[in-house]
Structure 1
Amino acid sequence: MESFLPRGGTRGGQWSDHRRVINRVLYRVRTGVQWRDLPERFGPWETAYKRHRRWSVDGTWKMLLSQVQAAQDAVGEIDWSVSVDSTSVRAHQHAAGARKAPPAAVPQKGARAGTNQRDPVLGNRPSGWRRWWHRRVPVTLPRRLQHQIHRAADGRCRPLALPLTPGHYGDGPQLEPVLGQIAITRNGVGQPRTRPDHLLADKAYTSRHHRHYLRRRSIAHTIPERRDQRRHRLNRGPRGGRPTGFDSEHYKKRNTVERAINRLKGFRAVATRYKKRAYVYLGTVTLAALLIWLRT
């Protein structure tokens, strides 16, 4: 990856050794320690933190990931049988409490527009269901800040798209945004590839709108039908339409996205969010995904 890294520093200066700084960042992503607790053999922790934050903002980590994906696609190493799912990530108490920008209609002294805005990714789920003996009853759960990582993974358990949403967002409405982020550039002439050969998803993504969307893009899909949808279709008789095709054997391959989530959460800085800003945490997730691609 050395040929794709920036060569000059800010204000005409020179970067510190890329290998040494990236090793510091990788150590922190793997262990989840605070930046100040990095071992002294890595050097000043400020250098690693500023480099990681800067490359998260300007998209350097995302660019490196796209270069690796393009190289793998050029040699035919990407399995385009894509699976989609999401996972919840708990936010540590250090991730809360980011400063809020003052409203634009009420300017305050010393405030700069567009800075210190509220994180739009963090959300909570104040209620839920809990099993009590033989029945499920609604209970009120404590508010816990969390967010969702929606993930599209290829047949080799490697991420192709990683959008973030608040924790109270559902999986179904995010299918189109997840597929919209798949764009594997080509080394030669041509548009980036954005359409998988086959899509695997669970019942959270089953809907008539999604099936129309996938057919319009000519994407074969294997999505099970929910029990209530099947009952409503049968009750409508001939107006209910044809039953959805479902291949149970091919659906077994959907476990690739579950294994991909386990690989991603093997990095402690990804499994628990410690950063206050969403773009810095997204850079951490992208770096973890980059390391997964390099290992394979």
Structure 2
Amino acid sequence: MLQLKDQLHTFLRCSIGDGNTALFWHDYWTELGPLHQLFGPTGPRSLRIPLNANVSRAVSNGHWSIPSARSEDAVTLQIILSTTVIPSSSNRADVFLWRNSSGGFGPSFSSRVTWERLRVTRPQVPWYSVVWFKEEIPRCSFISWTAFLGRLPTRDRLISWGLSVPPGCVLCSLADESVNHLFFQCPFAVATWSRFCGRYMASPPSSLADVVLLCQQLPGPHASRAVVVLKLINQVIVYTLWRERNSRIFSGVSSSQEACSRLVDRAVRDRLLSLTRPTATAPSPSLLELFFWFVSPFS
């Protein structure tokens, strides 16, 4: 618990009022930081202030009540306290301040600002917008994201972990299962992708990298909106193929390629129908109309 509290001090400060809330040893209420880090385990005994005491415990008769300094750290503390407002019951309550976007501290907490300071930033991957976009289907985005990361437990990965599993693809039995084979090279997958080839996509992509490249180079006057449809088709196909693969392995239940294609078509249409309908000032055609341009709709 103390270790977690020490980590919070990067983001948290305390402005002293009546001194009844801030902890003398553990909170960051002076320029010296948490005093238990400065004085160590002997601090409470040398300053005669209990380990869990609040700041008001160090005040007596309206003055700081600290024993005579016997170390350089104690001298430094006394100098700091001489310029610090003395806690009083007539003052406001202690206020905890959170680090804000400018690097200072304020009374409001922002999870976004805190996260941006906590996380280790890395270069943005080129496929992020193919996975995360506002029109996504969350369950499909998650599987697509895991596929881009190369972390789906395909049979080639399971074998690399030392597990004894058959290597063959359960959708076609013609090659070993991997991410590229399962979603793009398997005849079952190629046939599924082919049902959505048309004006914007002349032939099925051969890898996730091809999907990213196609999204970046999609032709036509409505390409910026058509790419949303393409990203959605990609996610739903990956999700549907992964679901079919698992159904065959774990339940022994198989669906035809035609049935899987219809599932993809229905899921994409349902998602596009659920989106806000275009207004008179909105771009035309609609996303659903652009989907029809990708492929002749099923009857």
TM-score band by shorter chain is: under 0.3
Normalized against structure 1, the TM-score is what?
Answer: 0.22
Larger Rg: 2
Greater RCO structure (CA 8 Å; 6+ sep):
1
More strand, by proportion = 1
More helix, by proportion = 2
Normalized against structure 2, the TM-score is what?
Answer: 0.22
